[in-house]
């Protein structure tokens, strides 16, 4: 289980300027805990194996900062 090196390198190489990447590998049934902890970051989900609904919730939390 993990994030393939080639995928990580491709994402990192696509970052421009002073951007940053945060890779998260979480194994939990409690997506609310993940949302709570990730909300403080301004960003977007680039790739996920989560359901589309969960991805939308995470992106919304990242954009709102709450």
Please list, in sequence order, all residues whose beta carbon lies within 8 angstroms of the beta carbon of residue 15, skipping any fewer than 6 positions away. Answer: 21
Which pLDDT score, from 0 to 100, does residue 64 have? 76
Which pLDDT score, from 0 to 100, does residue 32 have? 76
Tokens 């090196």 found at:
5
What are the backbone dihedrals phi and psi of residue 33, each rounded to the nearest 5 degrees, phi first? -65, -40
Encode pLDDT of 21-52 as tens digits.
888 777 767 777 877 887 787 777 777 777 88
Which pLDDT score, from 0 to 100, does residue 1 have? 62
Of residues 2, 53, 46, 47, the one with CA closest to residue 31: 53
């Amino acid at each position: 289980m993990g994030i393939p090196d080639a995928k990580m390198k491709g994402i990192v190489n696509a970052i421009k300027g002073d951007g940053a990447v945060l890779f998260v590998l979480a194994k939990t049934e409690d997506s609310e805990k993940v949302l709570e902890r990730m909300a403080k970051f301004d960003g977007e989900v680039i790739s996920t194996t989560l359901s589309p609904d969960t991805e939308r919730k995470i992106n919304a939390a990242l954009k709102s900062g709450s």
